[in-house]
Amino acid sequence: MISLRQSETRPGGVEQGRACLKGEIRMNSHGTLRLGPLTMQLISGSRWKGVDGFPAPQIWADDVEEVLSFLQRENHLTEYFSAIQKAQSAKHRDARLAEVRAAFYLAQNGFQILQWEPLGEGRKAGEFLVSFDSFLPMFVEVKQPAWEGEFLPLHQAEKNRLSAEERERRFSRIRKGKFIPGTMEARAVGPCLDAMEVVRRNHCCPR
């Protein structure tokens, strides 16, 4: 299982500042944005078109085009478009992107994609099946907790211990949206602990 924290789903494998050779130029809060042809096709047929500034800024737009080009080379683009364009919200769209971005990352690091949406235990489909060198195939399922969850304790007992003032402070921040223009936020995290907590919450291993 691959766990991606929402705030860490950042572009990878794309040279910063590189623009798509063909596409459409748009203006948004980040300035001039050049969209690649596959990204334009993705957005134009989607239910979530216009709900946010996706895929700004430029480095993110370049990353989306790079990932979609990877899917095209893997002959998986048509199936992927069919699924992600039907996503009901930006949150579900981002989760779909996290799945294929994980495949892109693994492929860039020597893994071979053997199969998309393989069936696992209980006939539940995973994201993909990969192999590395001569090792046995690995079943991959990607989990990406929503960003809102980073402002609240993971366990109910801890949530119950929050004071009314602290609870309101956290929910007030969530109501402002993921990104606040002109504001940079940071905190210390334990990546391994966060990843294992996602695994536990999805009943993949005992506590």
* Full DSSP string of 74-123: TT-HHHHHHHHTT-SSHHHHHHHHHHHHHHHHHHHTT-EEEEES-B-GGG
Distance CA 107, CA 64 (A): 16
Q: Taking CA 34 as the corner, what is the angle to CA 74 and CA 100, rounded to the nearest 5 degrees?
A: 25
Mean pLDDT score, 112-116: 94
Q: Is 24 helix (H, G, I), strand (E, B) or coil?
A: strand
Residues 171 and 117 in one domain: no
Q: List b or e across 155-194, with b for residues whose CB sees 16 or more CB atoms inside 10 angstroms.
A: eeeeeeeeeeeeeeebeeeeeeeeeeeeeeeeeeeeeeee
Residues 34 and 92 in one domain: yes
Per DSSP, 9 falls in state -
Mean pLDDT score, 93-102: 93
Mean pLDDT score, 107-117: 94
Question: What was the pLDDT predicted at 188?
Answer: 78
Mean pLDDT estimate for the chain: 81
Which residues 6+ apart lie within 8 Å of 111 measured at CB? 130, 131, 132
* Structure-model confidence comparison of residues 144 and 127, the more confident one: 127
Domain boundary among 119, 142, 165: 142
Per-residue confidence band for 27, with pLDDT thresholds at 50, 70 and 90: low
106: tokens are: 């693994």
Question: Which residue in the block uniquely carries the two structure tokens 């860490």?
Answer: 8
Domain boundary among 102, 120, 142: 142
Residues 43 and 138 in one domain: yes
Residues 64 and 134 in one domain: yes
**Cis peptide bond upstream of 191, omega within 30:** no
Residues 199 and 100 in one domain: no
Q: Is 199 helix (H, G, I), strand (E, B) or coil?
A: helix
Mean pLDDT score, 71-92: 94
Is the confidence at residue 84, as pLDDT, over 60? yes
Q: What is the pLDDT of residues 158-202, one digit of tens each?
A: 888 999 999 999 999 989 888 788 888 887 777 777 777 777 766
Task: Give the residue numbers spanning the domain of 74.
Answer: 2-142
Per DSSP, 52 falls in state S
- Angle between the 58-73 and 37-44 helix axes, to the nearest 10 degrees? 90
Q: What is the pLDDT of residues 132-143, one digit of tens each?
A: 988 899 999 888
Residues 127 and 150 in one domain: no
Domain boundary among 94, 114, 142: 142
Per-residue confidence band for 5, with pLDDT thresholds at 50, 70 and 90: very low
Question: What was the pLDDT predicted at 3?
Answer: 43
Query: What total of structural domains would you count in the chain?
Result: 2
- Sort strands 142-143 and 112-116 into parallel, antiparallel or unpaired: unpaired
Question: What was the pLDDT predicted at 135?
Answer: 86
Residues 9 and 107 in one domain: yes
* Structure-model confidence comparison of residues 126 and 103, the more confident one: 103
Residues 120 and 73 in one domain: yes
